[in-house]
Amino acid sequence: MEMAKSLHDPSTPGAARAGKRERSFELSLPALVKGLDATGRKFEERTAVCGISAQEVSLRLKARLMIDSRVTLFLDIPRTLILESPLRMVLSGGVVYVRLEEKAEKTQFIIVRLDRGFRLHPNSAPPA
pTM over 0.85: no
Residue 25 has φ and ψ, to the nearest 5°, of -110, 125
- In the chain, domain spans: 20-122
Supply the CATH classification number for the domain 20-122. Answer: 2.40.10.220
Query: Which range is least confidently modeled, 42-46, 80-84, 98-102, 122-126?
Result: 122-126
- What are the tens digits of pLDDT across the range 50-83? 998 889 999 999 999 999 999 999 988 777 777 7
